[in-house]
Amino acid sequence: MTVTQALNLWDGWPARAVAPPGPLAALSSADGRRAAKESPSAREDAATVRECLHGNKDAYRQLVERYQARVSAIMWRFSRDPELHRDLVQEVFVSAYESLARFRGQAPFEHWLARIATNTGHGYWRRQRRAGAISTVPLEECAEMPEEKAETMDPQEAGALLHRLLEHLSPRDRLVLTLRYVEAHSVSETAELTGWSETMVKVQAWRARRKLEALFKRARQEVAP
């Protein structure tokens, strides 16, 4: 399997491949746009935020209820362990609450929250890396992965496989490949979520693909007779 095959295997249906099971299934890009149209307006969210800042304890609960499914979907990209996943979702909402005074309403609240979620997940990966807590699939198994079509694979199996593949990379590389190729975000959307410049997104994505190519090459060498 080549790098392009590994990334394109999930192309066009990333949400199905990496969605958490049950009612917290992730939204695809198209589904996300439709949900945004149906969700409370930016004005409603801003009003709810003001209520939070004026001491209305129930107001933040409303924000959590509005966006918990979306945040849960994002955080499933960072951990597929149910208990850790719940902890990460909670961490996102705690961080957002503590930062609420800095929300200026220049972008929709959902976008602001998604950026906090992305940074929280990236931070979790960095902590894992520093602690040596990442258990990766052996490289020789990567070289022998089935070259199945996306539609013929079980979505959860495909998502788990992709998650394990990307664990061989640094958190920064995993993040940019996940956002650009798994979730199919544009360069500008990826820049917004990460806080990087668009140039940095392009450079980081190119470097990450090169590193993944090197890993696959090494894997094939290790299994060669």
Go through the domains of the chain in sequence order and give each one's CATH number: 3-223 (1.10.1740.10)
Q: Which long-range contacts (CB under 8 A, 24 or more apart) does 60-68 make?
A: 60/97, 60/100, 63/96, 63/109, 64/93, 66/39, 66/40, 67/109, 67/110, 67/113, 68/93
The end-to-end CA distance of the chain, in Å, is: 17
pLDDT per residue of the chain (225 residues) written in tens, 0 to 9: 455 555 554 443 333 334 454 434 433 333 444 444 445 688 899 999 999 999 998 999 999 999 999 999 999 889 888 899 999 999 999 999 999 999 988 889 999 999 999 999 999 999 988 887 655 555 555 544 555 554 555 656 666 666 777 888 899 999 999 899 878 899 999 999 999 999 999 999 999 988 887 877 776 666 555
CB-count exposure of residue 162 (10 Å: 0-12, 13-18, 19+): buried
Nearest alpha carbon to residue 118 among 170, 63, 176:
176
- Across 25-150, the runs of DSSP E, i.e. the strands, are none
